[in-house]
Amino acid sequence: MVKKTRAGGRKNGAGQRTPATRDLLLNAAEALMCDEGYAAVTSRRLGEKAGVTSPLIHYYFASMDDLFVALYRRHAEQSLSSLAQALQEGDVFETLWRQSRNSDNAVFFMEFMALGNHRKAVRAVMVEYAQEYRRLQYDAVRGYLKEQGLQPGISPDAAVVLIAGTGFLLGLESRFGMSFGHQSVEEAITRLCAKDG
């Protein structure tokens, strides 16, 4: 079902799999997870969505937990590099705020939070990347403030958490069709960022 051109001639032996199908499976898993929740990501439904039979999932991932960990890892790597690039190109606070209230990110993150709440391996990879992500945000804010010679009333690490938390909630609520205070907090954050940095 999946056509692929071999990467290149090489010695036979164990390991070394073609990445195409693996990525296809992760794509299907991500879509399924965001659309219907992590409980819908079963080997059979996943295979169905990817146009593949279910045992193939276990050929690429030792267990469903391994698949979830791999999925989070891939998403986190993408988020990290995409944030790093956006921070270099655009306004720091505006970038952080936009990325924080991204509704798709919020849903993905929440599903994994719920998953990580009772699966140790998932929780571990989440903590690992969360720290890296926060570090990136923090360094960007601190560098920006120093560069501009600003001394805002709120510390850089507090600002990062405040923006992340507020944006996260906004992203989730908007997915549920809730909008109370969203316009106001939008203006407040924008004003705060413009004033402080």
Residues that bind its own copies (CB under 8 A): 35-40, 107, 110-111, 113-118, 123, 126-127, 130-131, 134-135, 138, 154-155, 157-162, 164-170, 172-173, 175-178, 180-182, 184-185, 187-189
User: H-helix or E-strand containing 43?
Assistant: helix 43-50
99, interface contact from DNA, its own copies, none, CB < 5-8 Å by kind: none
CA distance 179 to 84: 30
Min CB(2)–DNA separation in Å: 4
CA diameter of the chain: 62
Q: Which is nearer to its own copies, 56 or 111 (CB)?
A: 111
Position among 28, 32, 56, 170 found at the interface with DNA (CB under 7 A): 56
Around Cβ 120, how many Cβ atoms within 10 Å?
8
Cβ(23)–Cβ(93) under 8 Å? Answer: no
Which of DNA, its own copies, none does 160 bind, CB closer than 5 to 8 A by kind?
Answer: its own copies
Among DNA, its own copies, none, what does residue 173 contact (CB within 5–8 Å per kind)? its own copies
Nearer to its own copies, 20 or 188 (CB): 188
Burial 136-156 (b: 16+ CB within 10 A, else e): bbbebbbebbeeeeeebeeeb
Q: Which does 64 bind (CB under 5 to 8 A by kind): DNA, its own copies, none?
A: DNA
